Structure 1
Amino acid sequence: MIKLQSLRQHLLASVEELRRNPEQLHTFVNDGKVKFSRGTNLTHQYTVEAQIIITDYSGSLDTVMVPLLQWLNTYQPDFIEEEAVQIEAEILSNTHWDLALTVRLTERVVAKVDCSTGRINAEHRMPEYPADACPAKHWQLYIKHPENAEHDLVAEWDSPA
């Protein structure tokens, strides 16, 4: 799954704690399906529930969620808004927690068959769907907590595209 690998790389690059400790990030595919129509070509589509687990996390949910939503907005724009991400968490202490996020990903594979040569050319498609004409390529996330007067810088990363 090229999309899941791309999402994983984006989170590792975007979330400071994961950049320092990549072993905290685990990704799984649950309930995967392959959509396929009979015919000469072997083009198909993967649809999976991708589970992203971050263990022993001490950061804010926003520092994970904002880059995740940015990536989904670019590469998986057909998500159902009310169900874009499912969240589960286990509080380990006052400062650390395990976080499980589930997103539905689809990935199309165009596989063209040349019957005369026996060659099959397969290509994974990962089109980008830019949400707007925002020219920024580097992002900084500032969060204002109720007890603070100012917004604090909590994360920085580059665009997923």
Structure 2
Amino acid sequence: MLKIDLLRDALMQAMPELKAAPKNLIMWVDRGKALSRDTADLSFAFEFQLNVLLVEFASDIATFALAILIWLRTNQPDLFALGADAFDFEVDILDNGKVDLQIRLQLRQNVTVAITPQGAKASYLPEPAPLFVDDLPFGGLDADPILTSITVNGEDLPPWSMVDGE
């Protein structure tokens, strides 16, 4: 399914730790189902739980969560919406520096079917374009800052890096 490949690629790009040890990223699907659209062209959708397991993860969970949330903005925007449960997770603490981290995402992949004289051909549909342009950098936390300042009631607050004490 397209979304699984897209998420794997995004995580590899965003997290250098995974590029160095790709075997530490394990993905599998649970509770998958196909949903009929009852359309003339036989289009349908897959709904499934995507499990993502990071083995011996040594970075902060926030790094991983940020990569997932940026991916959700474009690829499953309903999970990125205010108040939505983006994903749930479990952490198995191995020692003071490493954990096994599993997240579960409830995803939907729409499929369109083209009927031709040669038969039917299925292809994955992309998500609709987001309401706002998504120009966030996608290089992990080492990329250029996404947000450099915040203004509240006309007063500029310091950049996030200063808020974090850096």
Q: Relative to structure 2, which stretch is displaced further, 2-11 or 134-143?
A: 134-143
Indicate the SS of the match to 2:42.
Answer: coil
Contact 2:13 2:138 in 1 (8 A): no
The Cα offsets for residues 44-86 of structure 1, whole Å up to 9 and x where unpaired, read as 1001110000001101111111011000011101126442110
**Aligned counterpart in structure 1 of residue 113 of structure 2, from 100, 111, 114:** 111
Which residue of 1 is the match for residue 12 of structure 2?
12
Unaligned runs of 5+ in 2: 143-159
Identity %: 23
Which residue of 1 is the match for residue 52 of structure 2?
52
Contact 1:34 1:47 in 2 (8 A): yes
Indicate the SS of the match to 1:78.
Answer: helix
The Cα offsets for residues 119-158 of structure 1, whole Å up to 9 and x where unpaired, read as 11222112353363354545552786x9x730xxxxxxxx
Indicate the SS of the match to 2:13.
Answer: helix
The one-letter code of the counterpart of 2:165 is: A
Aligned ranges 1:10-159 → 2 under 5 Å:
10-38=10-38, 40-79=40-79, 81-114=83-116, 117-127=117-127, 129-130=129-130, 132-133=132-133, 135-139=135-139, 141=141, 149-150=165-166
Closer, same or farther: CA 136–78 of 1 in aligned 2, 3 Å: closer
The one-letter code of the counterpart of 2:85 is: E
The one-letter code of the counterpart of 1:67 is: A
TM-score by length of 1: 0.80
Give the length in aligned residue pairs: 146
Task: Answer 1 or 2: higher relative contact order, Cα 8 Å, separation at least 6.
Answer: 1
Partner Cα separation in structure 1 for residue 124 and residue 16 of structure 2: 29
Indicate the SS of the match to 1:141.
Answer: coil
The one-letter code of the counterpart of 1:27 is: M
Closer, same or farther: CA 93–77 of 1 in aligned 2, 3 Å: same
Which residue of 1 is the match for residue 156 of structure 2?
none
Contact 1:32 1:47 in 2 (8 A): yes
Partner Cα separation in structure 2 for residue 138 and residue 50 of structure 1: 21
Greater strand fraction, Structure 1 or Structure 2 = 1
Q: How far did 1:39 drift?
A: 5.4
Indicate the SS of the match to 2:78.
Answer: coil
TM-score by length of 2: 0.77
